[in-house]
Amino acid sequence: MTDMSVSDAAVQDMDGDFSVAKAKGRYRRFKVDLWATSVNDVEIGIMRQTQHRAKTSQFTKDMDVIGQIRDADNNRTGILAYRYGLWKKEGAKKRLVIKLFTDKMYWRATMDMMVGRSLQLTHGADGVPVTAYSMNIARTEQVIQIERSADKWWFWPEKFSFFILDDKGPRYYKLKQNLLSIGRDYILYDQRDRRIGYLDGKLVSFGGLWKVKVLATEDDPKLDAAIQLFCGHLRFNKAARRHVKSMADDIRAGKIEPSLDHYEKDLYMNPRRTR
């Protein structure tokens, strides 16, 4: 089973709370708090890792918990973890996989780095590193694609884009880095280029802390999950760009032959193909 599978794993984990973050007044607010070390109350203790794996097959043996989600009342509502085993590998097998769990460790969503797609976009952008990710959210049929914009020059703000399907059709979003801020801040725009949210990055946190606010009218748990995974990925953002840039340069110079991890290959396959 690949990291993006939603079949048996999603059904197994339906006990997870998928509630929307609390809205106070005009905004819905939550925090994404990344820890500086692996010393935390989620992993410390005898058999804790085994207990997590017993609750969900999505918590693999190489998972490392890196942070938490807290609501407006400072209650923990979610846990972020990543597959350190994949991230330690070399070449195309090195992939960033971040997972979001509820506070009771039931799977909610996964963010997969798509190395093949990233290299394709980087090649088309003449070497500008363009990272691409796929998000798979529980109880959702759509696989959300989020990608860094190739329209990036020195001192220009970094931008990511994605869309979410609902009953009314696609809704398009853009996350644009705020270069005028002190921390790693991003502004969330809707398809009409209106500011509908803000990711306020705090420098005082060693691991990474983002105070997020989204207009209460944008009431969608899928959007919340996408933002939470995006904040988790920011810890690895520079390293991911360097990884893609290095691979693209080596392929262009003929130093390596293009290849992909077999799990990632499966994500590109036609789901209707004959097996």
In a domain, 98, yes or no: yes
| Structure confidence at residue 42 (pLDDT) | 59
| Structure confidence at residue 211 (pLDDT) | 96
In a domain, 275, yes or no: no
Report pTM. 0.86
Q: Which of 97-101, 220-224, 265-269 has the lowest mean pLDDT?
A: 265-269
| Structure confidence at residue 1 (pLDDT) | 39
User: How many domains does the chain fold into?
Assistant: 1
In a domain, 7, yes or no: no
* 192 neighbors 174 (Cβ within 8 angstroms): no
- State mean pLDDT over 217-243: 96
- Examine the pLDDT at 113 and tell me if it is beyond 50: yes
Per-residue pLDDT reduced to its tens digit, 21-54: 666 669 999 999 998 766 555 554 444 555 555 4
In a domain, 90, yes or no: yes
C-alpha gyration radius of the chain: 18
* 132 neighbors 148 (Cβ within 8 angstroms): yes
In a domain, 174, yes or no: yes
Structural domain harbouring 198: 23-268
In a domain, 16, yes or no: no
3-state secondary structure the chain: CCCCCCCHHHHHCCCCCCCCCCEECCEEEEEEEECCCCCCCCCCCCCHHHHHHHHCCCCCCCEEEEEEEEECCCCEEEEEEEEHHHHCCCHHHCCCEEEEEECCCCEEEEEEECHHHHHHHHHHCCCCCCCEEEEEECCCCCEEEEEECCCCCCCCCCEEEEEEEECCEEEEEEEEECCCCCCCCEEEECCCCCEEEEEEEECCCCCCEEEEEEECCCCCHHHHHHHHHHHHHHHHHHHHHHHHHHHHHHHHCCCCCCCCCHHHHHHHCCCCCCC
In a domain, 15, yes or no: no
Q: What is the mean pLDDT of the chain?
A: 86
In a domain, 37, yes or no: yes
- State mean pLDDT over 190-215: 90
How far apart CA 182 and CA 71 sit, in angstroms, is 24
| Structure confidence at residue 274 (pLDDT) | 74
- State mean pLDDT over 54-66: 80
